Amino acid sequence: MIPVRTLNSGYQIPLLGLGTYPMDGAAGAAAMARAIAAGYRLLDTAAKYGNEWAVGEAIKRSGVDRRELFVTSKLRGADHGRARTRAAVAASLDRLRLDYLDLYLIHWPLPRLGRYIESYQAMLDLAAEGLIRSVGVSNFKPAHIAALIEATGVTPAVDQIELSPALPRQATVGYLTRAGVLPQAWSPLGGQHEVTRSPVVAGIAAARRVSPAQVVLRWAVQQGMAVIPKSSDPQRQRANLDIFRFSLSDREMAALATLDLGEDAAVDSDLRVEF
């Protein structure tokens, strides 16, 4: 059973879900349907991924009641702005063949474009209309979130950011925790930094008789973060689910803290331009 966390919106979110990029087409839908059969209840997609149709197909094939599933999608940069945001949500729902989204995020803040507050307000309006249950953001820095709160008085439910033992983002996570925003990790296995190949992680995994990936995912959920590892492999999907039967010791958590590469190793969302 995957633990859940109650968001500031009042809705519950599983602490572990399935990242769906780059799964697509019939094969992607089949892989996602297998994940649902294995026990996953959160599916994370985005308009930018181009696979919302496959996610909807997986949900349809699974036979699981829609109310048991938690579906996230995201607003692409090209759709920032009030009117375009409304149209983008309608298009995502159409591709997914769903009546509502459990969570909708602004994928990147694009501060130089200067429209993320406008998009956020449109998302709040759509939440009031019942098309979105929880409104959140992705790759937002504390300053971006503070601007949203100041403009609307509404705190995002989730901030999905790059998080792993290589990028623990302590200052950002601390801010989110104090603000009541759930940190959700994308790339939680620290792929580009080869975290799972670290001797520290390998040593803990060997001692625990678990996989390096399980150690890294456990590191996150043990601190109250949510994670969305992506895998189309059935065995890895099942292994990623199996992280709630053990805990890491304080000594092991301290050892993992030595892998911190610092904030400069993270993608700078003030500079990232992605449409």
**Is 21 labeled as catalytic in the residue annotation?**
no
Terminal CA-CA length for the chain? 37
Instruction: Check if the beta carbon of residue 96 is closer than 8 Å to that of residue 151.
Output: no
Residue of 103, 95, 110, 99 lying closest to 72 (CA atoms): 103
Which residue, among 249, 247, 242, has the nearest Cα to 2 in the 3D structure? Answer: 242
User: What is the secondary structure of 126-180 as a DSSP string?
Assistant: HHHTTSEEEEEEES--HHHHHHHHHHHS---SEEEEE-BTTB--HHHHHHHHHHT
- Rounded Cα distance between 144 and 109, Å, is 7
158-162/101-106 β-pairing: unpaired
Active-site option among 11, 40, 49, 116: 49
Q: At what angle do helices 250-257 and 199-208 cross, to 10 degrees?
A: 160
Q: Omega of the bond prior to 3 within 30 degrees of 0, cis?
A: no
Residues with catalytic roles: 49
